[in-house]
Amino acid sequence: IAGITQAPTSQILAAGRRMTLRCTQDMRHNAMYWYRQDLGLGLRLIHYSNTAGTTGKGEVPDGYSVSRANTDDFPLTLASAVPSQTSVYFCASSPNPGQASYEQYFGPGTRLTVT
Protein backbone atom coordinates (compact mmCIF):
# COMPACT_ATOMS: atom_id res chain seq x y z
CA ILE A 1 0.00 0.00 0.00
CA ALA A 2 1.46 3.33 -1.07
CA GLY A 3 2.14 5.89 1.60
CA ILE A 4 4.53 7.19 4.20
CA THR A 5 6.13 5.11 6.90
CA GLN A 6 7.84 6.49 9.97
CA ALA A 7 10.06 4.76 12.48
CA PRO A 8 10.11 4.35 15.36
CA THR A 9 6.47 4.62 16.38
CA SER A 10 7.53 5.92 19.76
CA GLN A 11 10.76 6.43 21.65
CA ILE A 12 11.92 7.51 25.08
CA LEU A 13 15.28 9.21 24.86
CA ALA A 14 17.66 10.51 27.47
CA ALA A 15 18.60 14.16 27.17
CA GLY A 16 21.87 14.68 25.35
CA ARG A 17 21.50 11.60 23.19
CA ARG A 18 21.47 11.64 19.41
CA MET A 19 18.38 10.35 17.63
CA THR A 20 17.33 9.93 14.01
CA LEU A 21 13.68 9.68 13.07
CA ARG A 22 13.16 7.85 9.83
CA CYS A 23 10.68 8.67 7.10
CA THR A 24 10.16 6.81 3.84
CA GLN A 25 7.58 7.40 1.12
CA ASP A 26 6.86 5.25 -1.90
CA MET A 27 4.72 7.70 -3.85
CA ARG A 28 7.71 9.26 -5.66
CA HIS A 29 6.73 12.65 -4.32
CA ASN A 30 9.26 15.40 -4.85
CA ALA A 31 8.62 17.38 -1.69
CA MET A 32 8.90 16.15 1.89
CA TYR A 33 8.39 17.85 5.22
CA TRP A 34 8.89 17.38 8.94
CA TYR A 35 6.44 18.85 11.43
CA ARG A 36 6.17 18.70 15.18
CA GLN A 37 2.84 18.71 16.94
CA ASP A 38 2.53 20.07 20.44
CA LEU A 39 -0.62 20.40 22.48
CA GLY A 40 -2.23 23.77 21.91
CA LEU A 41 0.23 24.75 19.20
CA GLY A 42 -0.92 22.75 16.22
CA LEU A 43 1.64 21.58 13.67
CA ARG A 44 4.79 23.56 13.05
CA LEU A 45 7.19 23.01 10.18
CA ILE A 46 10.73 22.03 11.15
CA HIS A 47 12.45 21.41 7.82
CA TYR A 48 11.45 20.70 4.27
CA SER A 49 12.95 19.39 1.05
CA ASN A 50 11.74 20.37 -2.40
CA THR A 51 13.60 17.57 -4.12
CA ALA A 52 16.42 15.12 -3.52
CA GLY A 53 19.60 16.95 -2.66
CA THR A 54 17.96 20.12 -1.32
CA THR A 55 16.65 21.07 2.11
CA GLY A 56 15.30 24.19 3.77
CA LYS A 57 14.42 25.51 7.20
CA GLY A 58 10.89 25.84 8.44
CA GLU A 59 9.44 27.69 11.39
CA VAL A 60 11.23 25.79 14.18
CA PRO A 61 14.50 24.32 12.81
CA ASP A 62 16.82 24.83 15.79
CA GLY A 63 18.18 21.60 17.22
CA TYR A 64 17.23 19.56 14.17
CA SER A 65 18.93 18.60 10.93
CA VAL A 66 17.75 16.77 7.83
CA SER A 67 19.19 15.22 4.71
CA ARG A 68 17.65 14.14 1.42
CA ALA A 69 19.97 11.73 -0.35
CA ASN A 70 17.21 10.25 -2.50
CA THR A 71 13.56 10.79 -3.33
CA ASP A 72 12.14 8.28 -0.89
CA ASP A 73 13.89 9.00 2.40
CA PHE A 74 13.94 12.10 4.58
CA PRO A 75 15.49 11.43 8.02
CA LEU A 76 15.30 13.95 10.85
CA THR A 77 18.18 14.04 13.32
CA LEU A 78 18.30 15.47 16.82
CA ALA A 79 22.01 15.88 17.49
CA SER A 80 21.66 16.34 21.25
CA ALA A 81 18.09 15.91 22.45
CA VAL A 82 16.57 18.27 25.01
CA PRO A 83 13.30 17.88 26.93
CA SER A 84 11.65 20.66 24.90
CA GLN A 85 11.91 18.38 21.89
CA THR A 86 9.36 16.06 23.44
CA SER A 87 6.64 16.03 20.82
CA VAL A 88 4.87 14.05 18.14
CA TYR A 89 6.74 14.26 14.85
CA PHE A 90 4.99 13.95 11.52
CA CYS A 91 6.60 13.43 8.17
CA ALA A 92 4.67 14.54 5.09
CA SER A 93 5.08 14.61 1.34
CA SER A 94 3.47 16.23 -1.68
CA PRO A 95 3.89 15.67 -5.40
CA ASN A 96 5.11 19.09 -6.48
CA PRO A 97 6.77 21.63 -4.21
CA GLY A 98 6.08 24.44 -6.64
CA GLN A 99 2.34 23.96 -6.57
CA ALA A 100 0.57 25.06 -3.44
CA SER A 101 -2.60 23.38 -4.60
CA TYR A 102 -1.43 19.92 -3.69
CA GLU A 103 -2.37 18.58 -0.31
CA GLN A 104 0.29 17.06 1.86
CA TYR A 105 0.10 13.40 2.78
CA PHE A 106 1.12 12.58 6.33
CA GLY A 107 2.80 9.63 7.95
CA PRO A 108 1.49 8.04 11.16
CA GLY A 109 3.81 10.04 13.40
CA THR A 110 6.57 9.32 15.92
CA ARG A 111 5.96 10.08 19.57
CA LEU A 112 9.24 11.17 21.15
CA THR A 113 9.79 11.74 24.84
CA VAL A 114 13.06 13.28 25.98
CA THR A 115 13.76 12.78 29.68
Partner 1 sequence: AQKVTQAQTEISVVEKEDVTLDCVYETRDTTYYLFWYKQPPSGELVFLIRRNSFDEQNEISGRYSWNFQKSTSSFNFTITASQVVDSAVYFCALSNSGAGSYQLTFGKGTKLSVIP
Contacts of 90 (CB under 8 A, 6+ apart): 6, 34, 35, 36, 37, 43, 106, 107, 109, 110
Q: Is 99 in the site for partner 1 (CB under 8 A)?
A: yes
Among 17, 82, 108, 115, binds partner 1 (CB under 8 A): 108
Among 25, 34, 48, 74, binds partner 1 (CB under 8 A): 48
CA 30, CA 10: separation in Å to the nearest integer? 26
Q: Smallest Cα–Cα separation from 95: which of 8, 1, 2? A: 2
Q: Is 109 in the site for partner 1 (CB under 8 A)?
A: yes
Q: Is 101 in the site for partner 1 (CB under 8 A)?
A: yes
Q: Is 113 in the site for partner 1 (CB under 8 A)?
A: no
Residues in the chain: 115
Chain positions contacting partner 1, by CB under 8 A: 31, 33, 40-45, 48, 50, 56, 58-59, 88, 90, 92, 97-101, 103-106, 108-109
